[in-house]
Structure 1
Amino acid sequence: MILPIYAYGQPVLKKVAKPITKDYPGLEKLIADMWETMENANGVGLAAPQIGKSIRLFLIDAGPMHDEGEEHLGKRGVFINAEILEEAGDDCSYAEGCLSIPDITGEVERAEEITIRYYDENFVEHTETFDGMNARVIQHEYDHIEGILFTEYLKPLKRRMINRKLEKIKKGEADAKYRMKFIRT
């Protein structure tokens, strides 16, 4: 089932999400619905807070972020109760966007490499190191479960330039090609 994506301004997007256990009610269906929602919106990642659930769950499919012919290098997976253990390498800048903040992008500096511990959808624990676009997408989604949006990393001038657009999104004035949930005013 395709779920509405919570728009900028929704309080759940600013909360630090809570860990879950393997017996979280309806987890398998929730994950399936999140995949369907993300793919319907042409996203490469989706975190539970973006669908209104303040739990430490996100999924990514970084294949489309890789060059043509190298899509197979993109990580596709579910991350539950993730914890970034280490960041390494030089910070790299890249224009990011977010399904919760349609039609806005901005340059964000992120670590080139991360080591992360997480559980997959079967609650098997993994500790892995990712770099490049895989690391970037994971860090973006990880920020969602920490209550951080990519716009908070933007330089002050860029932030001022997009402030009016952010306020419009908050009011429900967004032109997304997928279902969104806005704050009721």
Structure 2
Amino acid sequence: MSLREIIILPDKQLRLVSKPVEKVTPEIRQLVDDMFQTMYDAPGIGLAAIQVAQPLRVITMDLAKPDAEGGETKREPRVFINPEIIARSDELSVYEEGCLSIPEYYEEVERPARVRVRFIDLDGKLREEDAEGLYATCIQHEIDHLNGVLFIDYLSKLKRDRVMKKFTKAAKRAE
């Protein structure tokens, strides 16, 4: 396992549409291991492969909450290969979202409250699950990444332009 660099806005790779994974290979398993290490280190609850400059339809996620006693969090790692939303509720919910590729920026986003997702697991098995709450929000956020969509795309043009300007300036200063 190794840490990978998370690409940051305004990197144009974040707008790429990721390619489907043909087969779960040792290379895909290595990518998943690296993505988990990178996600936990960041720290974050979800990561799309494109965020580590791999345009493949792979998502890692862990929504585990720290235990009440403040001890070690029991991790609940999840992997989604070639995920797709196959059903959405008409009911909407609002969550404050952030993104490892848009660090330290958070904004409320409205999305379907419940979704049904179809994906391949790490064993190559096709699965379907219903998601609601934070799980529904996170899986939609990460699938958006695979399609070149960022959570800021759900904001008003004014807010989105402000965020883009801020991160473009920061990138120029870093050069």
After TM superposition, the score normalised by the length of structure 2 is 0.87
1:158 aligns with 2:142: no
- Does the 8 A contact of 2:114 with 2:132 survive in 1? yes
- What is the CA distance between 1:28 and its match in structure 2? 1.3
Distance 1:60 1:87, change over 3 A: same
Distance 1:134 1:68, change over 3 A: farther
Larger mean CA deviation between 156-165 and 113-122 belongs to: 156-165
Cα distance per residue 1:42-72 (max 9 Å; x no partner)? 10000000000111001111224x9969x88
- What is the CA distance between 1:156 and its match in structure 2? 2.8
Matches within 5 A, 1:22-61: 22-24=23-25, 26-61=27-62
Distance 1:27 1:172, change over 3 A: farther
1:87 aligns with 2:57: no
Matches within 5 A, 1:35-184: 35-64=36-65, 76-171=77-172, 173=174
- Does the 8 A contact of 1:43 with 1:99 survive in 2? yes
- Does the 8 A contact of 1:45 with 1:60 survive in 2? yes
- Does the 8 A contact of 2:24 with 2:124 survive in 1? no
Seq. identity, %: 36
Larger mean CA deviation between 20-29 and 49-58 belongs to: 20-29
- What is the CA distance between 1:95 and its match in structure 2? 1.4
| Secondary structure in structure 1 of the residue aligned to 2:22 | coil
Separation (CA, whole Å) in 2 of partners of 1:153 and 1:75 = 29
- Does the 8 A contact of 1:101 with 1:169 survive in 2? no
**Root-mean-square deviation (CA), in Å?**
2.4
| Secondary structure in structure 2 of the residue aligned to 1:83 | strand
- Does the 8 A contact of 1:19 with 1:55 survive in 2? yes
- Does the 8 A contact of 2:113 with 2:136 survive in 1? yes
| Secondary structure in structure 2 of the residue aligned to 1:171 | helix
Q: In the alignment, what sits opposite 1:9?
A: 10
| Secondary structure in structure 1 of the residue aligned to 2:89 | strand
Distance 1:163 1:90, change over 3 A: same
- What is the CA distance between 1:89 and its match in structure 2? 4.2
Separation (CA, whole Å) in 1 of partners of 2:159 and 2:34 = 34
- Does the 8 A contact of 1:47 with 1:144 survive in 2? yes
Which structure has more relative contact order (CA 8 Å, sep 6+)? It is 1
Q: Which runs of 5+ in 2 are unaligned?
A: none
Question: Which amino acid in the other structure matches residue 31 of structure 1?
Answer: V
